[in-house]
Amino acid sequence: MILTTTNSIEGKTITHYLGIVSDITYTATFSGAGMSFKDMFSSKKYYAAYEKSLLEAKEAVFQKLRTHAENLKANAIVGIKVDVEAISGSMTSMISVVGTAVIVV
């Protein structure tokens, strides 16, 4: 499965547009799991834990996007857009992705 943010794939021809695929996932912006009480006050360790959480959530949402495209019999997704938003009043972030499932040759 080819995933790209561009609307075309160099060296490939899009033969069929199968539809828009999208998904979202949520992640806690902070998880103290595995951190000592002292580490929770270290901004470096806090941001490292936050980054890890976001990367894991991003990978999960891309896996779901691939599954949606595979269900349409696509072999690529073009024009992918990624949006990360903090949910007001909580320690949660939402990651959404959308793209166009296509068949390329």
Q: Find the CATH number of the domain harbouring 14.
A: 3.30.110.70
Per-residue pLDDT, 38: 66
Q: Is residue 86 within a helix (H) or strand (E), and if so which, with residue range?
A: strand 76-87
Q: At residue 8, does pLDDT exceed 60?
A: yes
- pTM metric for this prediction: 0.79
Instruction: Write the pLDDT tens digit of every residue in 40-95.
Output: 666 777 777 778 888 888 999 999 999 999 999 999 999 999 999 988 877 788 99
Give me the number of domains the chain comprises.
Answer: 1
Q: Tell me the residue range of the domain where 99 lies.
A: 2-104
Using DSSP's 3-state secondary structure scheme, residue 15 falls into strand
Residue-wise burial string across 66-85, b where 16 or more C-beta atoms lie within 10 A, e elsewhere: bebbeeeebbbbbebeeeee
Q: What is the pLDDT of residue 33?
A: 57
